[in-house]
Chain A
Amino acid sequence: MNASTSKLISAGPLLDETDRRLIRATQGGLPLVPQPYLAIAEQLGIGEAEVAARLAAMLENGLIRRIGAVPNHYALGYTANGMSVWDVDDEVVDAAGERIGALACVTHCYRRPRHRPHWPYNLFAMVHGGSREEVRRHVADILLLLMRDFTGRLRGHEVLFSTAILKKTGLRLRD
């Protein structure tokens, strides 16, 4: 283990016990009943309006990114995904990341620490497609963008294709 985790510390809002119970009650999904917030309220022993208000506050402060459908990439035909990783000069990596993140084929784009000497890459862009060929075409587009608009700033890149999902449970607060 050779990376600092200090950057993970956030000064986010602390949860009270009702928030934690609300997260546990909804992290697996909303009840598929006509009045889902009422069902949650009854389960938690609080009012329906309080459930809605707490969820609204969590949306507001970013604890909830969004509420809705979470599609399975594979079932939608996005059977290939490549984690493209790029070694870009620190001075321009943020500008490059903003450009790459804006591409339609990129679903996540992050700056992360390098692990030299084996891992020189500091920019990660997840690329999805219907086939490896499609993913490779998208990666070639990214490469062209970087060579054209960030000339001389790219030192190398790789694409790591996934060959198996080994676990996918999503996030869980423990009971």
Chain B
Amino acid sequence: MPEHSHAGRHAPGVSSCGAARPALDDIDRRLINELQGGFPLVARPYEAVARTLGVDEAELLARLRRLLDAGVLSRFGPMFQIERAGGAFCLAAMAVPDAYWERVLAQVNSHDEVAHNYRREHRLNMWFVLATETPAGIADCARRIEAATGVAVHLFPKEREYFVGMRLEAR
């Protein structure tokens, strides 16, 4: 599969916080709000969805491509929960001294297992998600980060998830 035909190779960069907000029309908003799940497993799914939005298949594909390119959508496709396949996710946090911030950040981000990483205002100032194919991989990756940085990695495994009803709405 050539790269350009994939939805979602245009993941937003590391500093989209202050980016200008792209203009969305009503069809874009409906597409975003109504298509966060339930994409059909039929031969021509885009055509089926386009009909419900009142556009044709080619226009829906063009809009999806534009929303992905603009970073409004970070991806279009299946959202996997890899822990259901024996893999694991785990939230982790570190208290990184300012003087070592860049060095620790580069070290942490160099691990493929680090899926998301956010800076937060707290003594624990670096919060990231580890995603590994086996539960043992979490502790193993945390130990490797600790060994390389000399900073403790605190693990916050999910003990229970509470039902969340609403998804983010384009408004």
- Chain A residues close to B by CB (< 8 Å): 1-10, 12-15, 19, 23, 25-40, 43, 48, 52, 55-56, 58, 61-79, 83, 94, 97-98, 100-102, 104, 106-113, 115, 118-119, 124, 128, 158, 160-174
From A62, A98, A100, A107, give the contact of B81 (CB < 8 A): A62
- Chain B residues close to A by CB (< 8 Å): 1, 5-9, 11-12, 14-17, 19, 21-22, 31-32, 35-39, 41-47, 57, 61, 64-65, 67-68, 70-86, 88-91, 105, 109, 112, 114-124, 126-128, 131, 133, 135-136, 138-139, 142-143, 146, 152-171
Interface of B is mostly: mixed
- Is B21 a contact partner of A77 (Cβ separation < 8 A)? yes
Q: Which residues of B contact A70 (CB under 8 A)?
A: 8, 36, 73-77, 79
Q: In whole Å, how far is B95's beta carbon from the nearest beta carbon of chain A?
A: 8
Q: A72-B73, A76-B168 are in contact. Are A166 and B135 (CB under 8 A)?
A: no
Interface of A is mostly: mixed
Q: Which residues of A contact B117 (CB under 8 A)?
A: 165-168
Q: Which residue of B has the minimal Cβ distance to A170?
A: B115
From A7, A68, A97, give the contact of B157 (CB < 8 A): A7
Bound form: Cα–Cα A67–B41 in Å: 9
Q: Which residues of A contact B121 (CB under 8 A)?
A: 160-161, 163
Q: Which residues of A contact B11 (CB under 8 A)?
A: 168-170
Bound form: Cα–Cα A40–B6 in Å: 11
Q: Which residues of A contact B45 (CB under 8 A)?
A: 36-37
Q: A12-B83, A26-B78 are in contact. Are A5 and B90 (CB under 8 A)?
A: yes
- Is A69 a contact partner of B157 (Cβ separation < 8 A)? no
Could you list some 25 contacts between A and B, CB below 8 A? A8-B89, A8-B158, A10-B84, A10-B88, A12-B86, A26-B78, A32-B5, A32-B61, A34-B47, A37-B45, A38-B43, A61-B84, A63-B80, A65-B81, A67-B79, A68-B76, A71-B170, A75-B19, A101-B162, A109-B164, A118-B123, A163-B17, A165-B17, A170-B116, A171-B115
Known: A75-B21, A100-B162, A108-B161. 20 other contacts (CB 8 A): A5-B136, A8-B90, A12-B86, A23-B80, A26-B77, A29-B77, A36-B46, A64-B79, A69-B35, A70-B77, A71-B32, A71-B36, A72-B16, A78-B168, A98-B163, A108-B164, A112-B159, A162-B127, A167-B116, A169-B116
